[in-house]
A and B are shown apart, each in its own frame.
Chain A
């Protein structure tokens, strides 16, 4: 059983999380546990516990939360959000936490690969002649890519901590 040293906790962490768009309602949570009870991921992996995650945020255990791989195990099924009697919108809270984790440099490698694909192709899959030929065979119109837009939009987007300008 782990020990959590509150002396090293960050009391501002919960306010920072509540300041993120979509995560404002985290303060409504009264730990009833309905979310954890219905979470399908929690069924398979008991460590994935929405209520526990919120408690860790409230206690200010920032590093523990943001560095945890558990954050990325959410299947975004929205069951917790639909079940919550207080409207905490936990799926959105988790998106906010994932954003904060990414900013701090914690994210699964598959994610950065996806960003590259979007920058290059505007989609998660590259569309080549091979794909278009299969489409033609079925009478489907050709697909094009417009990566310029995505390069512009994602120009200032970076994963990981901001380096000193």
Chain B
């Protein structure tokens, strides 16, 4: 006999008095709801106390913030209903608030959808793009795991540091090498990519399950114009002289010289350059009487041993001066010696320095063609133009597209330690997309509502949507940002666990709470990302002025739906706030950004309809910013209370 999934409410036997109900009274009211099969009262949150489970049962843990780790059972699901996050905010009859919130959770859960599993038949090959040490190492690592590899090898007409080929790669029978002038484009999704490559004389299509972009190192010897004519030497030449070709005359000449190492202009300082500079400066300080200065925007020590080297350099008397990224101001000097002027924030004044010799770090910057590669692969670049967003959640080797990894020179990192980590994670990640299997989709699509307008295809930042006669949402590539669901003009798309219906029922139930007749508190709806706003709410102190807060959690800012916001405003809510992760903390990279755009758009729309755009607010925050969350709400209510705001 099949077991029908049941909704079971679990109440703790000691309800906080602030909730305004005895546990018996609460249980009685809840039992009266039709969609609740059972109400159980527990003394402790343990699986023994909770009792029997059946397949598909849904447990609502009232007053608990986290699900239980060991509550198992086929398809058993848990819905913690953490009232303590909202209760400090909800003045008025607490029993009404408690029950409304619980009802909203249960009704929303009832509307949850499960999609059909999708079968995956990947191409079990990995495509590596680039040349040089990083590419060689990546291929060797892939070879270790016996993975079939295609190497689109660039670098025939571009100079490199001349790194030797990896010995293992010559014997690798699973390796196919294609000469590559440049990549032209990519289609498909993780597990099934089709990459078009321009080889020397033709265009070839490579089918691969995963792509690893390694790029290549390049030495750039461009000394900026402003430094021309000054006594300047490249770091490589200086090292060659200092460590290998030193003649006694040279050493003597270095005494009483002011030597300034210059690095990091116009881009982030690199750890390998810093290592070279620190090593040279320590040797100079130890063996000569030279006055050594290091001028850099940052002293990057984020690698093994660098902090110790830095300490040694400082203790030897090397002086470190912080530069703006544009470089020092260069004053003219009648003696044609360079005169640098730099503002020192610690001293609160300008430092003037005339080095006798400038040692210029000419080590690799990023190649220009990376920008073209980014376009070809639809990849987001970071501020240093590397193929990886400025987002810690995508470190060390992930990009905005699942199945495509970038590392080493392609990412703008140049250090040995970090590169090893990047290669390891890229290879491990690649393997996830190479085996056949099944995956549950995150997106539900209704054919009857879809007009094949292609908006979802264009909106997806992760390349998860492909089109034949209909859109396909590939779970392999999907990050569940919700942007497609939010933008679809026909409302044909929903995210599992965050469907329009679920969001709507929650909002409806909570807004059905009566408002005070006399001088009601402002009613605010907050659409908040689960990763940041919902967690911040837990540590948020109650606001200065009482507020009737309705919190609608979203899986990502991208899920923020314009229609829902307009509906909610139309129902007489005083203000709507969107609270999402900081731009470079968004787990989908684009979700928060889309929410911001949408809020701006809604403001324009309602303004044209004669409503006050100040009724909408957009903030970004981190999970530990409870205090700031409250402050934002306080600011919002203060703005709404000002004359002219029609929400007042």
Contacts and interface: CB of A to CB of B under 8 A. Distances in A.
Contact of B291 (A2, A4, A11, A56): A11
B459 interface: no
Contact of B347 (A5, A11, A55): A55
Given A3-B352, A6-B352, A52 B347 contact: yes
A7 B353 contact: yes
B348 A3 contact: no
A3 B351 CA distance: 6
A120 interface: no
A154 interface: no
A51 interface: yes
A7 B350 contact: no
B319 A58 contact: yes
Interface in B396-449: none
A14 interface: yes
A31 interface: yes
A126 to B, nearest CB: 44
A127 to B, nearest CB: 47
Contacts of A56: 347
A159 interface: no
B351 A4 contact: yes
B349 interface: yes
A31 B348 CA distance: 13
A31 to B, nearest CB: 6
Given A15-B317, A55-B344, A58-B319, A3 B353 contact: no
Contact of B349 (A1, A31, A51, A60): A1
B350 A1 contact: yes
Interface string B324-368: 000000000000000001011011111111100000000000000
* Contact residues on B (Cβ < 8 Å of other chain), bracket: 10 to 19
A59 B322 CA distance: 12
B349 A7 contact: no
A114 interface: no
Interface in A1-37: 1-7, 11, 14-15, 27, 31
A2 B343 CA distance: 10
A51 B258 CA distance: 25
Contact of A3 (B291, B317, B319, B350): B350
B314 interface: yes
A48 B296 CA distance: 27
Contacts, number: 48
Contacts of B353: 6-7
A45 to B, nearest CB: 14
A2 B349 contact: yes
A7 B351 contact: no
B11 to A, nearest CB: 49
B315 interface: yes
B349 A11 contact: no
A27 B315 contact: yes
A51 B350 contact: no
Contacts of A11: 291, 317, 319
A4 B348 CA distance: 10
A52 B599 CA distance: 46
A61 to B, nearest CB: 8
* Chain B CB within 10 Å, residue with most, of A2, A3, A7, A60: A7
Nearest to B349: A2
Contacts of A15: 317
A40 B316 CA distance: 33
A4 B317 contact: no
A15 B581 CA distance: 48
B546 to A, nearest CB: 36
Nearest to B344: A55
B346 A31 contact: yes
Nearest to A12: B317
A56 B347 CA distance: 7
Contacts of B351: 3-4, 6, 59
Given A1-B348, A2-B349, A7 B258 contact: yes
Contact of A14 (B317, B347, B352, B354): B317
B349 A5 contact: no
B314 A3 contact: no
B219 to A, nearest CB: 31
Contacts of B314: 27
Given A15-B317, A27-B315, A59-B319, A4 B350 contact: yes
Contacts of B352: 3-7
A60 to B, nearest CB: 8
Contacts of A59: 319, 344, 347, 351
A25 to B, nearest CB: 12
Given A14-B317, A15-B317, A4 B349 contact: yes
Contacts of B343: 1
A80 to B, nearest CB: 15
Contacts of B315: 27
A27 B310 CA distance: 12
A49 to B, nearest CB: 8
Interface string B278-309: 00000000000001010000000000000000
A4 B321 CA distance: 13
A62 to B, nearest CB: 14
Contacts of B346: 31, 51-52, 55
Contacts of A51: 346
A7 B291 CA distance: 10
Contacts of B347: 4, 52, 55-56, 59
Contacts of A60: 319
A68 B388 CA distance: 51
* Chain B CB within 10 Å, residue with most, of A4, A6, A15, A59: A6
27 contacts: A1-B349, A2-B350, A3-B341, A3-B349, A3-B350, A3-B352, A4-B347, A4-B349, A4-B350, A4-B352, A5-B352, A6-B351, A7-B352, A7-B353, A7-B354, A11-B291, A11-B317, A11-B319, A14-B317, A15-B317, A27-B314, A51-B346, A55-B344, A55-B346, A58-B319, A59-B319, A59-B344
Given A1-B348, A55-B347, 17 more contacts: A1-B343, A2-B349, A2-B350, A3-B349, A3-B351, A3-B352, A4-B344, A6-B351, A6-B352, A6-B353, A7-B354, A14-B317, A31-B346, A51-B346, A52-B346, A55-B346, A60-B319
Interface of A: 1-7, 11, 14-15, 27, 31, 51-52, 55-56, 58-60
In order of increasing CB-CB distance, the 9 nearest A-B pairs are A2-B349, A55-B346, A6-B353, A3-B350, A5-B352, A11-B291, A7-B354, A4-B351, A55-B347
